[in-house]
Structure 1
Amino acid sequence: MNSTPSLSLPVWDLTPIYRDLEDPLLQEDLQWLRDHYPAFSAQFRGNLSQRLGDALEEWERFAERLNRIYFYLHLAHAAQLEDEEVKNRLHAVNVLVDSLSGEYTSFFTIELAALPDEICQQHYATDARCQRLRPWLEQVRLQRPFMLTSEVEAALGKRATFAASSWSSFYDEVEADLRFSLPDGPATLEQTLHQMNIHPDAEQRFQIMSTLNSGLAGPFARFSAQVLNMVVGSKRVEDKERGYPHPMAYRNRHNRLPDAVVEALHQAVVTEATPLCQRYYQLKARLLGLPLLRWSDRNAPLPFADRSRIPYAEGWQIVLNAFQHFSPELAQLVQDLAQRGAIDVPARPGKQSGAFNYSVVIPGGVTHSYLLLNYQESSRDVMTLAHELGHAVHGLLAGASQGALLASAPMAYAETASIFAEMTTFQFLRQRLQQQNNPAALLALLTERIETFLNSVIRQIGFSFFEQEVHNHEGRLSAQDLGRIWQNSLFRFYGAEGETFQYAATENLWCYISHFHNPFYVYAYACGELLTQSLYAAQETLGNQFEPLYRQLLRAGGAQDLPELLRPFHLDPCHADFWRQGIRNSLLPLLQEAEELAKTFAKTG
């Protein structure tokens, strides 16, 4: 398979960060760390009650400096995973930072958490720096019951480079080297998944999935099982020592969501979305003319869908127009990103699979945002572009407003901005097709949007239940054990064998889901999707007030929790029915519209 990227596709320019690995500015930043870590300890250990504002100001400077270093190295690594020089430098920096922070700053969060409430209140009232960073400080203090001694925290920090996360990093490199034998030649994982999702022939889709499933078997499945066992085992030991009551407790607290809210989200998906999911795929089987779907048909294009390729320039213009239609201010941020060379577009060997956005605040309060794509000219790639640009405008606005410590929203609502951008693009295209009176194209667009919803909500909550079973299992799990748990999670949400799907050649597909190495990250996608749908519904009542309120939400970053963020929109995520209503008000109307269009299309077709 020809995987050479088109020369016309943009690749990112990292020189605004550092010119290269030998840039004197990089060496200066590393020396700054060597000098300032010991100085921080000397100045502030035991003195936080008197010098809290000074300490927080200096801590933010650390965050900015570390952001610049890691931003460059992680982006350079993602662009070419096989570059040994970058890998070596990244490893050396990890060792240096873990050693310095473990030795000199492990005391900081422990002493912050231990400060008496009255001392903190005094600083909030008298020091503007403390008041500005109060949300960050209060989040640190919430972790007080789960902190270990300073000596233990220091030891954990020093060995972090060699902990379970190192397995995950190595996994990314091994996965990037995978090749699958397709009719057109060897293909990467990204290319194989793409071909399976776009091929118009059901038998060919199944053959591609079978090739993928068998290619993941054997050594890679055993390697993936080992990585996951290391991640799970390491987390289990640390959770027990810290006193977390259950495997999801750390993630929920980090997301600033009560356990009951997260449980309500999961149960709403099980009770409300699962029947609609199965109903949709039964509709899709009819549209494809198949008696029963195979798992390889899940994302298959409809026979009347426009399968023409969408060159990147055209996809970019579609997304830019959608942003412009909703918010000229956000559209300008998007245009600026392209002009600054902040997007790496083409799929190529050695490049990290998937897509991501990385936004940071670096010294001087300067905010940067870069996107990695593997654009292969499908309509799904256009939506991925919109998704990552949503993250980008969120990062840019929050970084400029909140600074390095508060720029990042918790994962559970960081996904809101990205999915909102997808919805903005979808609504723009939907209105255009309605004006053109093109029911076939409109039906195809609706089914794509429904499938995006199902992939964000059903699929990700399915991943979460898979993780829960894995993390609650005592002892090591083999690749075969994980395959059985994986398939059981499919049955739970998509129906038993033969009801909606046939599941042949799916037992190894858990192997390529790298999100499992970041435990319970995945439910953030469902949270973001349903929050977005609720926000969209609020547009009707808020009218022209909505767009500035939405930009205000983006600027908040991590400075507000979810109830605070949604209060201006008259939404309450803690209400027992919030998540169920989000599904009923979004997925159900889309499905009903698709079913009605399908009837009309069948009569006229």
Structure 2
Amino acid sequence: MNAIPSKLEGLNNCYLNKLYQHIKDPQIEADLNQLVSMIQSFSKFKGKLITKLGQALDAKCQIHGLNNKLVYFTMLVSDLNKGSDEARKLDLCVNDTITKLEASYMSFFDREVFDLSEDSYQNLLKTDKTVAYYQPMLDAIRAKGQYLLAEADEQNVTVKNIVSRLKWVSAFRKSSYDWDVETDAFNVLAGNKLEEDALRGYATPMSARNLSSKVDDAVVESLHSTVRAHASKICDRYGELFQKLSHNESFREVRFFIKDTDWVKNKNVVVDAYDHFSPTLAAKVRQVLENGYVAVGGVSGAYCATAVLSHSQVHSYVLLDYSNFKVFAHEIGHALHAHLAASKQGPLMWSAASIYQETASLFSEQLVFNHQLCHACDDQERLKLLLQQIKSFQHTVIRQIRNSTFEQKVYERRKLGELKERDFNILWHETFQEFYKEDAKMFWHKSAHYITQDPFHSYSYGFGGLFAAALFEVKEQMGEAFEPLYLNFLSKGDTEGFLDLAKPFGLNPNHPAFWENCIKNSFYKWLDEAEVLAKKLGYI
């Protein structure tokens, strides 16, 4: 019997036994069998949503809750046991079984919700409390209904995507930068996406993600063009300042990420920042820590995985490759977002689009940064903090929008036929010139995972970082009145889009200068202060 890995004991105890005791826990098989039965039984609602939509939604919620329990346990155990064939096979088995069953027995749901007449839909909203509760989700389904395929086609597309993506992502991960394998993976996956987008009628390769994020194509395009216009100015200005400062011994050790192994110190930095901002959020940070949901070491990268079993059963696991406070601040921001959204919205509507998830995580980073800035012991420490933040934000915003821009170029070129390695290189260098006014210093392969695994996810970081900067500027103006607004923002989950989420803060994303102001209140604000301090200290 395989116990939960020993690396999860003590400091690293993630309490996965809140889900299952071990990977041979008989409850896993029992739950999977129950879930299979629940999914198959869901087909009884087919053709009957006009009278049974509320019952179908209740059943769908229960399915999602049990699904989350199984999927997140097997994913976490597999990730924490990289060398375990047993853990990997269990993860693949659970995911493959569930996804194929949902495609076979549940794919009718969205199409039938869309096909309801407006009168029938309004009547259901008035007469069924369950339907009324889930109106934000149902409205979103109806809004994207024009892009839905016939049920059989939806099933075929789902299965095709599972098979091809699993095959090529696996090959990509094993390739160790084998350019032929990666080029083939890109061509197949980009080609599949373009084919599906054409079937559905999306305007651009990015439109599907924008629609699911409830944000207009024009707003996202404005984000890209604004960041591209300022990228080289920001990078050059930072580079010139840092070059002048690097002659001083005190600044030679300034780094973007420092792998500080003092977990207690780094944890306390984050907790202290939240103590000064929000007692509600600070209590939840302590709850995550005290319940043992944080693991340091034993994983590649860092992430937060949240299993929402019901409104009251929410388990957020924060896994860190090392204990840098910035990494912890980022991931605890995700955990806080998940907890507030799940307790309010439940298994079906808690998971916000990635642009809002990254807003929460990057707001958390900025909160800790500003707290440190306010408590800097002298101007020299303050200057170091500013330099680290500017460099970090370049990676968060400029680098990720650069990646997204490259991704757009790849899809546009793929419409003309398969790309060769040389074509990728040309597009990569073109993108570098647009953003940095210089030749690329790295290969496109090192930033390639976003196309193979999650198309256009990369722009979520740039979006979230700048939206967080806008929120932080409002926080500075509003003082204590900001906290309840922010808590409400976190609790919305997937129920509102960008315009509605921004409105309570007095922000209008459709304003032509919105992204310009975000950049002004982050990059340029920090650069201005850094240059003033450098002059004051006599370094430049």
Q: TM-score range by the shorter chain?
A: over 0.9
Corresponding residue SS for 1:344? strand
Matches within 5 A, 1:10-409: 10-42=12-44, 44-172=45-173, 174=174, 216=177, 219=178, 221-289=179-247, 302-303=251-252, 305=254, 309-346=260-297, 348=298, 351=299, 353-363=300-310, 365-375=312-322, 381-409=324-352
Give the conservation status (yes or no) of the 8 Å contact 1:443–1:598.
yes
Matches within 5 A, 1:343-492: 343-346=294-297, 348=298, 351=299, 353-363=300-310, 365-375=312-322, 381-433=324-376, 436-437=377-378, 439-473=379-413, 474-492=416-434
User: Alpha carbons of 1:7 and 1:287: their partners in 2 closer, same or farther (altered >3 Å)?
Assistant: farther
- What residue identity is the alignment partner of 2:213? N
- What residue identity is the alignment partner of 2:133? R
Corresponding residue SS for 2:215? coil
1:273 shift after superposition: 4.3
CA distance in 1 between partners of 2:143 and 2:98 (Å):
25
Q: What residue number does 2:446 align with?
A: 510
CA distance in 1 between partners of 2:131 and 2:8 (Å):
50
Give the conservation status (yes or no) of the 8 Å contact 2:281–2:336.
yes
Give the conservation status (yes or no) of the 8 Å contact 1:231–1:517.
no
1:249 shift after superposition: 0.9
CA distance in 1 between partners of 2:131 and 2:350 (Å):
16
Give the conservation status (yes or no) of the 8 Å contact 1:283–1:595.
yes
Matches within 5 A, 1:552-563: 552-563=488-499
CA distance in 2 between partners of 1:403 and 1:308 (Å):
36
Give the conservation status (yes or no) of the 8 Å contact 2:244–2:539.
no
Give the conservation status (yes or no) of the 8 Å contact 1:305–1:441.
no
1:364 shift after superposition: 6.7
Cα distance per residue 1:129-180 (max 9 Å; x no partner):
11111111111112211111111112233444312244224544x37xx6xx
Q: Which runs of 5+ in 2 are unaligned?
A: 1-5
1:512 shift after superposition: 5.6
Q: Which runs of 5+ in 1 are unaligned?
A: 179-215, 291-300, 498-502
CA distance in 2 between partners of 1:536 and 1:511 (Å):
29
- What residue identity is the alignment partner of 2:314? T
User: Alpha carbons of 1:477 and 1:368: their partners in 2 closer, same or farther (altered >3 Å)?
Assistant: same
Q: What residue number does 1:187 align with?
A: none
User: Alpha carbons of 1:118 and 1:496: their partners in 2 closer, same or farther (altered >3 Å)?
Assistant: same
Corresponding residue SS for 2:180? helix
CA distance in 2 between partners of 1:457 and 1:367 (Å):
30
CA distance in 1 between partners of 2:199 and 2:61 (Å):
29
CA distance in 2 between partners of 1:160 and 1:235 (Å):
9
CA distance in 2 between partners of 1:420 and 1:368 (Å):
22
Q: What residue number does 1:569 align with?
A: 505
Structure 2 length normalisation: TM-score?
0.92
Corresponding residue SS for 2:375? helix
Q: What residue number does 1:581 align with?
A: 517
Cα distance per residue 1:7-66 (max 9 Å; x no partner):
975242311111122223222221112212222112x11000111111111111111111
User: C-alpha root-mean-square deviation of aligned residues, in Å?
Assistant: 2.5
1:548 aligns with 2:488: no
The count of corresponding residues between Structure 1 and Structure 2 is 531
User: Alpha carbons of 1:23 and 1:118: their partners in 2 closer, same or farther (altered >3 Å)?
Assistant: same
Structure 1 length normalisation: TM-score?
0.83
Q: What residue number does 1:184 align with?
A: none
Give the conservation status (yes or no) of the 8 Å contact 1:367–1:399.
yes
User: Alpha carbons of 1:93 and 1:308: their partners in 2 closer, same or farther (altered >3 Å)?
Assistant: closer
1:488 shift after superposition: 2.6
CA distance in 2 between partners of 1:60 and 1:110 (Å):
18
CA distance in 2 between partners of 1:55 and 1:468 (Å):
38
User: Alpha carbons of 1:550 and 1:332: their partners in 2 closer, same or farther (altered >3 Å)?
Assistant: same
